[in-house]
Structure 1
Amino acid sequence: MKIAVDCRMLGMSGIGVYLENILYYWLETNKAHSFVLIGDEKKLSKLKFGENCNVVSCSSSVFSFGAMFSFPVKEVNNCDVFYSPTFGIPFGIKVPVYSTIHDVVFLDVKGLVGGLSLLVRKLFYCRAIYASKKIFTVSEFSKTRIKKHFNTNKEIVVAYNGIRHDLFEWKNKKRSSDLYKNYLLYVGNIKRYKGLDILLSAVKAMSDVKLIVVGKYDDMRTSDKELLNESSLNENKVVFVGQKSDEELYSLISDAEALIQPSRYEGFGIPPLEALFLHTKVIISDIPVFKEVYSKLPVIFFENGNSNDLQKKIEGISNEKSPDCIIPEIYSYKNTAAIILKNITIE
């Protein structure tokens, strides 16, 4: 089977990482199928692929109306199927379409985007659901939210996120960051729904604690910056380090006293999984998707939105052993890639 893949988000965080890992397992282990990879040639050249792959150059944005009509659909329509790792599906595609919708955070979290931006995203979601033969998502929680907002009868297949392939390689040559000692770690976007303000409130009430925050800060919206400024935290207590390379991030996670994910909303939530893989303690909010993904793993839950409860859990981690667990196979991108490929090629 000849599969066209939208690779325009390759190299980005989030969906870009998801796509990279799907492609890693597709291209490494599947010689029975051929692939047409559509995206930035320079980024695609970093992938390992053989004679069963062709690259079609396309640098347009995924979420723009212009790109919806300027995508190289001629090359796509010479394939058997088209797969997109997100919900930006171009017009003019005549072969069966399969797509992944990771979450509907823009619809579930009020005020995340403005009125016009929200309308545009709704149109993209609707387009993806209408055009797709099957939809993939990353949790049962996201599946229920998609069904609630769009009341669709389309088949929605859950294929969980997993441990990225290069983390397995890094773990075998693990090295210390040597930058910070005895610290808590937060990894993620600095948005209100990520719950960083809850963590900052907990840390503010504690003595002798250091928090390292990994994530974008410069391009934050004013309302998000004000949310953090209200905490008035001592710079010796909280350090914003911006974005880090993958290897730097792995070192920070591995050396941390605990990774804390205080999210109010997630579609899955990958950092706690990576922390467990690296035997780092994990404290997470008890939101539904975290209960779904992590309830059988050695994590510590705190009451969502309750900074006092989070403070208690942080103060108690010194008595907790570092987690020594085997991550279930369902949380591997090898499994994710296999589920998607099976559903695409089964017809």
Structure 2
Amino acid sequence: MKVIVDARNVTRTGIGTYTKNLVKGLLECKRLPLDIALAGKPEDIERSFGRDVKIIPLSDSIYSLREQVDTFFMELRSKGDFDLVHYLNYNKSFFSVMPYVVTVHDLIQFRFGYSSKVKQVLGKMVLQNTVKNAKAVICVSNFVRNELLDFCKIDESKVFVVYNPVPKISYSDSEEEDNFTKPFKIYVLCVGNRKPHKNFGVVVRALELLKDKYPELGLVIVGKKFEEYDYLDKLVEASQVRERVLLLEGVPYAYLSFLYKNAILTVSPSLYEGFGFVPFESLKFDTLPLISDIPVSRELFFSMDEDVFFDPHSPTDLASKIELFMNNDELRDKKKKLLSKYLDY
């Protein structure tokens, strides 16, 4: 089977990780006779997968009129040469001339109002049209599947749940590690883009509650921001712990690995996720994650003890969990061992 995979988002966080993991898995697949071509910006695809892959040039002007035109003509040019397109997000042309499947990661655009009302209405029309006419719809969790079926009127028999693969992370002690120094003697790590639903403010507030008892404890937040001076910059600057919070962007993978590996804990405080890679990445580096108590977390870590979950609206609850685990190596190791079984789901 000849398949076009939509790789326009390969450089982004979240969906970019999904794109890389999926494409690498398909390219390495020996069980199925697949002929894969990747649609997107050639330079981004070559940087991610090398020069040996088949590339169909396609602009990355997502959520735009140009996207509607470009994806339609990409299909029109490819019809007859390929059997199927796999769109890795629902944003595509309203009109299709090829059969396709689509992955839906979340409905955050509609739940948190990150775009204007006009764009939300248009986005909902595109989403409904895309999933209605798809041969199959892949959701990354049951939580997303249930939300999608509630949001769109579609045949539920063609909506399938396929969990995201746990990222293949390989990192070992090396000379490169000697170039890095820990930003704080003891620190908690957060990773993710800085949109408000990521809720990093609750971690800053929790650190304020712990500052007098644990003056050596710091907080490192790694993630892309979307404004030059955003809400998190303002919150940290006005906080009582601004000297103990480090905000980073564009961190090289080797240094991010170092930060994961040396953190006392990671914290995933999001108010909404379709899946969420960070707890799994944290476990890969043998660092215990504290996880926001939201529906998808309960789904993915379905039999885990209560003490690794915290109320994402409560700095007090989070502070108590941080204190519990940073002071008890034995308990921290026990929970890591229990959580690690989820790496093999």
- State the Cα deviation string for residues 245-278 of structure 1 (Å, max 9, x = none): 2222121111100001111111111111110121
Structure 1 window deviating more from structure 2 (262-271 vs 190-199): it is: 190-199
Are residues 45 and 243 of structure 1, via their aligned partners in 2, closer, same or farther at CA, if it must alter by over 3 Å?
A: closer
2:251 alignment partner in structure 1:
244
TM-score with structure 2 setting the length: 0.85
Shift in Å, 1:113: 2.6
Structure 1 length as normaliser, TM-score? 0.85
Counterpart of 1:200, as a letter, is V
Alignment: residue pair count: 324
Deviations 1:45-94 (A, max 9, x none): 241586xx532222241321222122322343121111011111225532
Bigger relative contact order (CA 8 A; separation at least 6): 1
- The equivalences for 1:1-347 within 5 A come to 1-30=1-30, 32-46=33-47, 47-48=49-50, 54-71=54-71, 72-78=74-80, 79-109=82-112, 111-154=113-156, 155-165=158-168, 167=169, 169-171=170-172, 175=177, 177-180=180-183, 181-207=185-211, 208=215, 209-217=217-225, 219=227, 224-225=231-232, 228=235, 232-296=239-303, 300-317=308-325, 318-319=327-328, 320-322=331-333, 323-324=336-337, 325-330=340-345
3-state SS of the aligned residue for 2:256?
Answer: helix
Amino acid at match of 1:183: Y
> Using the alignment, how far apart are the partners of 1:280 and 1:272 within structure 2?
9
Q: Which secondary structure does the structure 2 equivalent of 1:183 belong to?
A: strand
> For 2:40 and 2:14, how far apart are their aligned partners in 1?
17
> What is the aligned-residue RMSD (CA, Å)?
2.4
Q: Calculate percent identity across the aligned residue pairs.
A: 24
SS in 1 for 2:144: helix
- Provide the rounded CA distance (Å) in 1 between the counterparts of 2:228 and 2:145: 29
Q: Structure 1: which amino acid aligns with 2:69?
A: F
Structure 1: gaps (5+ residues): 331-347
* CA separation of 1:279 and 1:105: change in aligned 2, threshold 3 A: same
Secondary structure at the residue paired with 1:68? Answer: helix
Q: Which amino acid aligns with 1:310?
A: L
Gapped regions of structure 2 (runs ≥ 5): none
Indicate the larger mover: 138-147 or 155-164. 155-164
Aligned residues of 2:139 and 2:145 also touching (Cα < 8 A) = yes
Q: 2:271, 2:294 within 8 Å by CA — same for their partners in 1?
A: yes
- CA deviation after TM superposition for structure 1 residue 194, in Å: 1.4
Shift, 1:327, TM fit? 4.0
What residue identity is the alignment partner of 2:241? N
1:39/1:218 CA distance change after superposition, 3 Å: closer
Distance 2:127 2:247 in 1: 34
Q: Distance in 2 between matches of 1:102 and 1:212?
A: 27
User: In 2, distance between residues paired with 1:114 and 1:271?
Assistant: 29
Q: Distance in 2 between matches of 1:226 and 1:184?
A: 18
